[in-house]
Amino acid sequence: MEYQFLAQAQTIDNYTLSSMMDDYGNDVWNYAYFLTRSTEQADEISQQVFIRAYSGIKHFRGECSLKTWLLTITRNTTFTYRKSRFFRSSLWGETLPIESEQGPPHIREMTPAQYAHPSAEAEVISREHVHEIWDIVLALPDKFREILLLHLKYELTMNEIAEMLRISTGTVKSRLSRGKDKVRKQWEERNR
């Protein structure tokens, strides 16, 4: 569904809200989970995000994508939630897959036919490598981890990330580059 009309909307109907939840619900929940490290808190925050979007649609001006706007609400809601007396820290649960530009060495060497129909063994090994990469990403300091997630998982542009985090585009580029370098170095060290 196209959402350009929301830039001038004062209210939205239930159908549009439902469509927004279908289109962006997973992104909002995953980002909330990334920030809180708790499935219960991610559930609560996701509900709050769409309630805030529903009641605050008049504040959406279309200067960024709807997804960026919702992720910004998610971030702000999470930080507000963290300040509340109900916030509890928890350990990371399951990790989210991250699409590698090159993939693990054994996957890069596969033929196109093998990409289309990977063996069960290759899938298991690939998942293990993805989890290892995510473990590395999740161990990074917040300033690198968050930018990597927004860029790689949510495919936000550097300008969108800069606006969302209220930092300069140059800072985003620098942190993204440094974060990727840190992941690459730690990955190489693990696989020596």
4-83: CATH, from 3.50.50.60, 1.10.1740.10, 3.10.20.30, 3.30.70.20: 1.10.1740.10
Residue boundaries of the structural domains of the chain? 4-83, 105-190
Average pLDDT, the chain: 76
Fold of 105-190: Arc Repressor Mutant, subunit A (1.10.10)
Q: Which pLDDT does position 136 carry in this prediction?
A: 83
The 10s digit of each residue's pLDDT in 130-159 is: 667 777 887 888 889 889 888 887 888 999
What integer pLDDT is reported at residue 81 of this predicted model?
A: 76
2-55 pLDDT per residue, tens: 676 777 778 888 888 889 999 999 999 999 988 888 888 899 999 999 999 988
* 103 pLDDT above the threshold of 50: no
The pLDDT of residue 90 is: 31
Q: Which of 2-16, 43-57, 99-113, 169-183 comes out lowest in average pLDDT?
A: 99-113
Q: What confidence tier does 188 reach under pLDDT thresholds 50, 70, 90?
A: confident
Domain 4-83 shares a fold with domain 105-190: no
Residue by residue, DSSP assigns the chain as ---GGGGG-S---HHHHHHHHHHHHHHHHHHHHHHH--HHHHHHHHHHHHHHHHHTGGG--SSS-HHHHHHHHHHHHHHHHHHSTT-------SPPP---SS--HHHHT--HHHHHS--HHHHHHHHHHHHHHHHHHHHS-HHHHHHHIIIIIS---HHHHHHHHTS-HHHHHHHHHHHHHHHHHHHHHHT-
